[in-house]
A and B are shown apart, each in its own frame.
Chain A
């Protein structure tokens, strides 16, 4: 194995370790931190089923953001929908053989995934252009946008500009997943794309991107509004 392949293989496993380990650590922290009091923001469902339903709708629509600001909602919603396309687009590189359904929807997925830079650029411009958003933005916020945008652009370049050998990329990725690493394709754009993804994986669990997991634990949204009907116990109370 070349030194390049060896380095990327080690880095890949490190990044995966940080990503999954970090995510697990953070979410475990949320799950095990007590909620001393009932604090749902009302009006709110009075049954567990109602709460599940409300949150599924919230996840599917980003309703609170919609209520808050339509223009941000358009960008944010589009971005997250496109992420699903991107996911579908990349799934085929990790599964062998590719299931027929997954193969069939690839053209649609590609069409969606191609749009990734648009909402990112839109949100970034908005962040700079509106005085309130500019005020609250930190280098970390710009970094997250830059990283995602670069990943998107290098990804698109791989497809449309500097064409790469997708079969070899798939062999490499499958090798990593199957724990029998093979040589990495030494295609410069692919190496860029892949490195950026590794950086994202390391950044993710320790940044605001953690919202993707935290949202499932937010007491104001996931508690049931039934404090009189059923006594909520504070684990550290008396």
Chain B
């Protein structure tokens, strides 16, 4: 077990609701962005002098631009249905991590400045000015929300705390108070085309290495093409797929699937990344600009389709937002959805019998599947609601002999976040990440003990990175984490094409 200066929660499934402990996670805060990161994205370099007025004006602007925010600030009845649904509350016991209490941090400022009750009755109506103290709460607790939307499932009005968190971060950026992690990454994606800051030569040599490696292990000439004009498909992946483990195993899987299907594809050095941190910071313009690179690459490379890799929030942005942000996609082949998820692509081939699969290649694994928040609660795959649950499972069942389901109260639409989503996958929040992962880790541990599960497959780069890092705190080996296409990669029979 890793050494820590905090107490690691005991894993219990089903998870116990903690008694509230005020301030339990108030010490966990972010590293602020530096001046250069902020100015690069057009945010003020320092906290502006009239920060209070500026923030209130921004809040006013956002509530008039986003119906979600406006309604959510008004209609909460404080029923408490969401209160015990957040993994960060369950992991820390800090009452400000109850979704409704997190919302209240913004609502109290909203009341004070925008509602009759708040203006007339002040603190009696729980209305408060945006003081230094309140801003500190915002910085802290709006960076203890992974925008996973779990709370929304249980809210009678569908109040989505993620919308409020996004707005809060946008307001903070607008007064010059930003999070280093997210802003730095957005800067990198503009500079290098990907979140990791990988320059083109490094990307080229990695892809060459993978080509040789696959040739050696399978004997097949599986290609990993970069910037090939006229390819059929532009493949956009989370950049961790190029360098991290287990991510890269799925990348190999994608390439093998294209190879077996006889469909030409290419990566793009201009848009080698599919993640979109513009969403995490609630910034529409950034989200649009980051998505725009991909459409630009599709035009430049004259592809007919866009297929995307295993990443949760990025799939949300692609599936739900791209058409609005950077559509229409009428320049692509209309016979296929745009964008298409690699799981939709692969499962289509499996259903047509176009892939030769040897399930026994995965016999050493007893596999379960973790639904990633943004795929589960903010997107779809295929034509029918819930396809986002069925399609990856169909792939796993077609490639593995031993597949078992996790309990529904922690999966599917009620899935628990990995604890590292929403722009929180950063070292300074490690304690929060470990504690927030507890509910899911508890369910996994139970599956391991009771059902002999030794791998949890998933389709999100952040989930993979987070779990490989935090599961060892719970004595679960990092090798337990896998990508869905890694099992495709193991099972697929390439012949000698």
Of the candidates B84, B115, B160, B385, the one whose C-beta lies within 8 Å of that of A43 is B385
**What is the distance, in angstroms, from A211's C-beta to the closest C-beta of chain B?**
4
Whether the Cβ atoms of B71 and A42 lie closer than 8 Å is: no
Whether the Cβ atoms of B78 and A221 lie closer than 8 Å is: no
CA distance A220 to B376 in the complex (A): 14
The interface bits of chain A over 180-203 (1 if a CB of B lies within 8 angstroms of the residue's CB, else 0) are 000000000000000000000000
Whether the Cβ atoms of A36 and B380 lie closer than 8 Å is: no
Whether the Cβ atoms of A36 and B284 lie closer than 8 Å is: yes
Given contacts A39-B378, A227-B321, A228-B338, contact A133 B156 (CB under 8 A): no
Given contacts A211-B77, A227-B323, A237-B284, contact A136 B100 (CB under 8 A): yes
- Which of A4-12, A62-70, A168-176 touches B? A62-70
| Nearest CB in chain A to that of B387: its residue | A43
In the bound complex, residues from chain A placing their C-beta under 8 Å from that of B124 are: 139-140
Of the candidates B17, B80, B149, B324, the one whose C-beta lies within 8 Å of that of A133 is B80
Does B51 belong to the interface (CB within 8 Å)?
no
Whether the Cβ atoms of A41 and B160 lie closer than 8 Å is: yes
Whether the Cβ atoms of A65 and B378 lie closer than 8 Å is: no
- Which of B26-34, B60-68, B221-229, B234-242 touches A? B60-68
CA distance A68 to B78 in the complex (A): 13
Of the candidates A30, A138, A228, A236, the one whose C-beta lies within 8 Å of that of B319 is A228
Does B1 belong to the interface (CB within 8 Å)?
no
In the bound complex, residues from chain A placing their C-beta under 8 Å from that of B67 are: 30, 33-35, 217, 219
**What is the distance, in angstroms, from A72's C-beta to the closest C-beta of chain B?**
6
Does B14 belong to the interface (CB within 8 Å)?
no
**What is the distance, in angstroms, from A82's C-beta to the closest C-beta of chain B?**
16
Whether the Cβ atoms of B126 and A30 lie closer than 8 Å is: no
**What is the distance, in angstroms, from B345's C-beta to the closest C-beta of chain A?**
14
Does A218 belong to the interface (CB within 8 Å)?
yes
Whether the Cβ atoms of A231 and B116 lie closer than 8 Å is: no
Range for the number of chain B residues in contact with chain A: 35 or more
Does B2 belong to the interface (CB within 8 Å)?
no
Whether the Cβ atoms of B321 and A208 lie closer than 8 Å is: no
Does B117 belong to the interface (CB within 8 Å)?
yes
**What is the distance, in angstroms, from B437's C-beta to the closest C-beta of chain A?**
22
Whether the Cβ atoms of A141 and B385 lie closer than 8 Å is: no
In the bound complex, residues from chain B placing their C-beta under 8 Å from that of A139 are: 124-126
Does B154 belong to the interface (CB within 8 Å)?
yes
Whether the Cβ atoms of B320 and A37 lie closer than 8 Å is: yes
Does B171 belong to the interface (CB within 8 Å)?
no
CA distance A210 to B384 in the complex (A): 34
Given contacts A33-B64, A130-B80, A236-B65, contact A135 B95 (CB under 8 A): yes
| Nearest CB in chain B to that of A207: its residue | B117
| Nearest CB in chain A to that of B162: its residue | A39
Does B249 belong to the interface (CB within 8 Å)?
no
The interface bits of chain A over 28-62 (1 if a CB of B lies within 8 angstroms of the residue's CB, else 0) are 01100111111101111110001000000000001
Does A214 belong to the interface (CB within 8 Å)?
yes
Does B101 belong to the interface (CB within 8 Å)?
yes
Given contacts A34-B67, A136-B101, contact A210 B74 (CB under 8 A): yes
Whether the Cβ atoms of A33 and B66 lie closer than 8 Å is: yes
CA distance A133 to B78 in the complex (A): 8
Whether the Cβ atoms of A208 and B385 lie closer than 8 Å is: no
**What is the distance, in angstroms, from B297's C-beta to the closest C-beta of chain A?**
19
In the bound complex, residues from chain B placing their C-beta under 8 Å from that of A136 are: 78, 80, 83, 95, 98, 100-101, 104
Whether the Cβ atoms of B158 and A220 lie closer than 8 Å is: yes
Does B219 belong to the interface (CB within 8 Å)?
no
CA distance A211 to B339 in the complex (A): 36
CA distance A137 to B380 in the complex (A): 36
Does B481 belong to the interface (CB within 8 Å)?
no
Does B19 belong to the interface (CB within 8 Å)?
yes
**What is the distance, in angstroms, from B412's C-beta to the closest C-beta of chain A?**
8
Of the candidates A42, A50, A64, A140, the one whose C-beta lies within 8 Å of that of B378 is A42
CA distance A139 to B80 in the complex (A): 16
Does B79 belong to the interface (CB within 8 Å)?
yes
Whether the Cβ atoms of B160 and A132 lie closer than 8 Å is: no
Does B492 belong to the interface (CB within 8 Å)?
no
Given contacts A26-B74, A211-B75, contact A237 B324 (CB under 8 A): yes
Does A105 belong to the interface (CB within 8 Å)?
no
| Nearest CB in chain B to that of A45: its residue | B385
Does A131 belong to the interface (CB within 8 Å)?
yes
**What is the distance, in angstroms, from B137's C-beta to the closest C-beta of chain A?**
14
CA distance A28 to B297 in the complex (A): 42
Of the candidates A42, A131, A227, A231, the one whose C-beta lies within 8 Å of that of B20 is A131
**What is the distance, in angstroms, from B81's C-beta to the closest C-beta of chain A?**
3
Does A76 belong to the interface (CB within 8 Å)?
yes
Given contacts A67-B154, A133-B83, A220-B158, contact A39 B320 (CB under 8 A): yes
14 additional A-B pairs beyond A136-B83, A234-B324, beta carbons within 8 Å, are A39-B163, A44-B380, A69-B154, A136-B78, A139-B126, A207-B117, A208-B74, A208-B77, A211-B157, A220-B158, A228-B319, A228-B338, A231-B327, A237-B284
Residues of A whose CB lies within 8 Å of any CB of B are: 26, 29-30, 33-39, 41-46, 50, 62, 64-65, 67-69, 72, 76, 130-133, 135-141, 206-208, 210-211, 214-215, 217-221, 225, 227-228, 231-234, 236-237
A-B pairs, 7 with minimum CB distance: A68-B81, A68-B154, A214-B75, A220-B158, A43-B385, A221-B158, A211-B75
